[in-house]
Amino acid sequence: MPEAGTRSLDVICLGRAAVDLYGQQVGGRLEDMRSFAKYLGGSSANLAAGLSRMGLRSAMLARVGNEQMGRFVREALAGEGVDVSHVTTDPDRLTALVILGIGAGEDIPHIFYRERCADMGLVEDDIDPEFIGSARMLSVTGTHLSTPSTRAAVVRAMNCARERGTHVTLDIDYRPVLWGLVAAGDGASRYEQCAEASAVLADVLPLCDMVVGTEEEIRIAGGGEDDLLAALRRVRELSDGWIVLKRGADGCVVFPPGPIDALDDGTLAPGKPVEVFNTLGAGDAFLSGFLGGWLTGREPAECGAMGNACGALVVARHGCTPAIPSRIELDAFLQRDPTPRVPRLDPELIRLHRSTTWQDDPRPLCVLAFDHRSQFIDLANETGQPHGRIATFKTLVAEAALSVASELPGDVRGGFIVDQRFGGEAMDRLSASGLWTACPVETPGSRPLAFEAGAGLGQQLLGLPPLNVIKCLVFYHPDDPLELRLAQEERVRALYTEICAQDRRLVLEVICPSAHHAVDDTTLPRAMRRFYNLGVFPDWWKLESQSQAGWGAVSAVIDDCDPHCKGIVLLGLDAAEDVLREGFRAAAGVPYMKGFAVGRSIFGEPARAWFTGKLDDASARAAIAERYRRIVSLWRNACLETT
């Protein structure tokens, strides 16, 4: 197999790419499900995403439909860092769906909606020999051997790989329902003898350098043999490559090329004992971990251990692709002794999973924050305007912000913070843009912290557009009276728990009041450390300007507690531009500094002029856009001065 770094890709994944709809009422019948979570699905798509999380360069070779679900699959893969240049849009077929429930024990009822689905529209002409040759490995799913047209595409891809020295791996992935052997509602069935499937596998096994399958799948590949050893020997007759036998909770056995005289001839990698929550997707996760080791030069036993650990983490969680660990999380799990029995409830694994399994854009954020509510109410009251005018103005701000964001230089990106109370229409426009958008949840000025949605916080988060980040401002001083401090902490923890449950992202804005307690260079770092100690790990911090010593202390806290934090954005507090300039200069070179979130310094004067009738809509938009551009320039200049 080609060495690492010798080709532009590590693995091309050919096969199923679909949408999984997982029932959210765990333990109930699929008939009784009331809501579903939408995830990237399909064995090959799961593998492509999992390999990317292992730090490998993966690509997807498949078709998706020319509709919203197809676009979701493409965007989800790209969001995982997968090369989607050869994900073709099929003009006629729909993207495949799978509807699943999580029942009692290992009962995972699921239905495949794959009648003439897009990924089964793959044809020989979709196979580009040069693209196949750009990868060290081609990984194929057995589902695509079930029809003549996709089989021809698979065989062409395999032959192209063999001709170009690309290693071929076959994940047998045998599902009787996808071969038309069982009823459509029996998607959970894993074994049904099929002479046709065995014959088809026999034809392609000589083209494979590695064959991966469960005991049932090896028996099918081995001609339908009831005896597992006999089936392994038959597979060995057809392929001189490696054979990886998956044995569920018992781990796996890796057989090198050569005769197989006994089941223990291979290298055994024991399984990781965990509480099973969801068995679906364990095989895709296993292969992600196994190949994550294989393609980085690990020995078979370590590859098996990595695969087993990935499989264990997925069976203990909801969903498949979203449950696959990053390499950082996987290494941490492997080092734990004893192994956490319930990974989905383990705080350290939750933290690592949240912070390391998604890729944030590395460019600085230039955020226009106009989530202000009390300030706009005051302004409307002062100028004698109805509160309905606030929503109109916020829509103007959104239009100005979008116009500037579309023209920003490539070294920065736009972002927005906007509220639901007055900015609902603005939020819809900003969310539709796909740009970083945050929504506040706190009641303005509340101390102790209160949420605008009150007891309905979870429902509020559930109803927000899916791209929205959650922002919370808390006025917190580590020397506050105990009762006040505990109330603040309990509410921040409750918010974080809900955010984790809904897989949202959190910007925690902390302002340390100075009315009753001294504030120095240690105050904010102490507050941050306290939240970390409580198990609250914000994705971003939104913080006031600090002295050089203060920024050093802030960075040290993040170093100690959460080096995977996505960063800090600097808030503006209605500062004049010259004050912002100095704050930007002091902050631009700070570790973890991600950009700024400025509001009234940009929209404040135009807002007052608009509410008093001195500016019309077009003039207000232009004024806001111009001030936003100037603040972005201040930030970029500050960054240039620190490089």
pLDDT digits (tens, 9 = 90+) for 371-415: 999 999 999 999 999 999 999 999 999 999 999 999 999 999 999
Confidence label for 102 from pLDDT (cuts 50, 70 and 90): confident
Query: Cα–Cα distance between 155 and 158 in angstroms, integer?
Result: 5
What is the identity of the amino acid at 70? G
Query: Cα–Cα distance between 496 and 444 in angstroms, integer?
Result: 19
Selection from 121-130, 276-285, 345-354 with the highest mean pLDDT: 121-130
- The pLDDT, as a whole number, for residue 31 is 87
499-505 contact pairs (CB < 8 A, 24+): 499/461, 499/470, 500/350, 500/354, 501/458, 502/458, 502/461, 502/462, 503/322, 503/354, 504/461, 504/464, 504/468, 504/469, 504/470, 505/469, 505/470, 505/539, 505/540
Judged against a pLDDT cut of 80, whether residue 103 lies above it is answered with no
Query: Cα–Cα distance between 247 and 466 in angstroms, integer?
Result: 38
- The pLDDT, as a whole number, for residue 373 is 97
Structure tokens at 409: 């230089």
- The pLDDT, as a whole number, for residue 107 is 65
Query: Cα–Cα distance between 140 and 185 in angstroms, integer?
Result: 25
Closest CA to 348 of 319, 313, 318, 315: 313
pLDDT digits (tens, 9 = 90+) for 527-584: 999 999 999 999 999 999 999 999 999 999 999 999 999 999 999 988 999 999 999 9
Confidence label for 366 from pLDDT (cuts 50, 70 and 90): very high
Helix (H, G, I), strand (E, B) or coil at 368: strand
- The pLDDT, as a whole number, for residue 186 is 62
Domain boundaries, the chain: 9-356, 365-642
CATH superfamily, region 9-356: Ribokinase (3.40.1190.20)
pLDDT above 90 covers what percent of the chain?
81
Judged against a pLDDT cut of 90, whether residue 106 lies above it is answered with no
The average confidence (pLDDT) of the chain is: 94
Confidence label for 176 from pLDDT (cuts 50, 70 and 90): confident
Judged against a pLDDT cut of 90, whether residue 258 lies above it is answered with yes
Closest CA to 379 of 603, 617, 579, 598: 603
Could you tell me the sign of the dihedral formed by the alpha carbons of 272, 278, 281, 283, in that order? Answer: positive
Q: What is the mean pLDDT of residues 443-465?
A: 93
- The pLDDT, as a whole number, for residue 187 is 52
Question: Which of these ranges, 122-126, 570-574, 608-612, 628-632, has the smallest mean pLDDT?
Answer: 570-574
Judged against a pLDDT cut of 60, whether residue 105 lies above it is answered with no
Selection from 204-213, 273-282, 341-350, 460-469 with the highest mean pLDDT: 204-213
338 preceded by cis ω (within 30°)?
yes
Judged against a pLDDT cut of 60, whether residue 606 lies above it is answered with yes
Task: Return the CATH architecture of domain 365-642.
Answer: Alpha-Beta Barrel (3.20)
Closest CA to 124 of 105, 144, 107, 139: 144
Confidence label for 32 from pLDDT (cuts 50, 70 and 90): confident
SS3 per residue for 596-612: EEECHHHHHHHHHHHHC
Q: Report the relative pairing of strands 18-23 and 36-41 from DSSP bridges.
A: antiparallel
- The pLDDT, as a whole number, for residue 184 is 64
Whether the pTM exceeds 0.85: the reply is: yes
